[in-house]
Amino acid sequence: MKIQFSSDREFDLIAIGRACMDLNAVEYNRPMEETMTFKKYVGGSPANIAIGSSKLGLKAGFIGKLANDQHGRFIEQYMSGVGVDTSNMVVDQEGHKTGLAFTEIKSPEECSILMYRDEVADLYLQPSEVDENYIKKAKVLLVSGTALAKSPSREAVLKAIQLAKKNDVKVVFELDYRGYTWTSLEETSVYYTLVAQQADVVVGTRDEFDVMENVTEGSNAETIEQLFKHSPELVVIKHGVEGSYAYTKSGETFRGHAYLTKVLKTFGAGDSYASAFLYALITGKDIETALKFGSASAAIVVSKHSSSEAMPTVAEIEQLIEERSEKAEQLS
């Protein structure tokens, strides 16, 4: 099965949500308390996905709000430098700050993120700053769940979704759950369910779907049964290194396998997966190939230091897929 996107659109994908900064531990394999130096990268899940898509050759744009300071300007310059259209990134005029994510790399398996997100500019995006004329130029609107955590960003995103649906722009909902931004699980579940039911494609980890459903140890079968009563035509559920599943409304199930690699850190997997999975879908590849693209992109990024700067090219992804399929053939 292939997803059909509107043709004749200037942008393949427009993402909405946070563009922030990652400060990744330069000394790895030690706790944060003993980490003395950090390297700065652009971060924030939807920004990472827009950057990843742009590096793959898609025409990507971004809707968001940046701090009116050096950090905000660094983010804008980096994103436009890699080809993301930043014309709809507005600059905050009320003193709000850039969100920061300090990453701790204790071991390749044990990574955590310490987020500084009080009064962050991205959550102050106003509905009036979302422009229909921009959204209607896209094939896909990529919505990050974290942008639903607080008003006015929440209403700005809901407006963007309404405009996307009005203009035949496919809505992709990346659950991107970051607990510290939300006040309660009940509230998260309400907004996640509302948006997932309206989206065309929903992507998240099994744990994130549990948050959406406000359950512990939910099942993929139950998730898709509920979601396919509404708008979604494709649901992707990720299970970390165990791989991922894509379910279609028409009843097909596809399994994606992780490509084992030398892992430096685990974060960045989800965003690199999303950008390459969407690249493959938007360029007309089938879902099985899209799962391979997502998994290969994630394997490349978890073996490198950053999330955004490490995003691979199409050639790197194709090379990894080919090498691994040759190896699998030799072993069989």
Ligand X SMILES: O=C(O)C[C@@H](O)[C@H](O)C(=O)COP(=O)(O)O
Ligand Y SMILES: Nc1ncnc2c1ncn2[C@@H]1O[C@H](COP(=O)(O)OP(=O)(O)O)[C@@H](O)[C@H]1O
Give the one residue of 83, 127, 152, 240 binding ligand Y; rule: CB under 6 A.
240
Crossing angle (nearest 10°) for helices 185-198 and 153-166:
10
- Tell which positions 117-136 bind ligand Y, by CB under 6 A: none
Please report, as ranges, the residues that interact with ligand X according to CB under 6 A.
20, 22, 43-45, 48, 101, 113, 267-271, 307
Q: Which residues contact 329 (CB under 8 A, 6 or more apart)?
A: none
**Alpha helices (runs of H) in 136-219, residue ranges in sequence order:** 153-166, 185-198, 206-213
Give the nearer residue to ligand X in terms of CB position, either 21 or 140.
21
Asked if residue 298 binds ligand Y (CB under 6 A), the reply is yes
Give the one residue of 40, 113, 243, 318 binding ligand Y; rule: CB under 6 A.
243
24-32, 82-90, 116-124, 291-299 -> range binding ligand Y (CB under 6 A)? 291-299
Q: Which residues contact 171 (CB under 8 A, 6 or more apart)?
A: 140, 141, 143, 161, 164, 165, 198, 199, 200, 201, 231
Give the one residue of 44, 52, 64, 270 binding ligand Y; rule: CB under 6 A.
270
Asked if residue 238 binds ligand Y (CB under 6 A), the reply is yes
CA distance linking residue 173 with residue 138, whole number of Å: 15
Give the nearer residue to ligand Y in terms of CB position, either 126 or 185.
185
Please state the closest distance from residue 238 (CB atom) to ligand Y, in A: 3
Please state the closest distance from residue 137 (CB atom) to ligand Y, in A: 28
CA distance linking residue 1 with residue 216, whole number of Å: 31
- Does residue 299 contact residue 76 with C-beta atoms inside 8 Å? no
Q: How far is CA 141 from the centre of its chain?
A: 12
Q: Find, among 108, 98, 107, 93, the residue nearest to 43 by Cα.
A: 98
Asked if residue 244 binds ligand Y (CB under 6 A), the reply is yes
Site residues (vs ligand Y, CB under 6 A) = 205, 238-241, 243-244, 258-261, 263, 266, 269-270, 273, 295, 298-299, 302
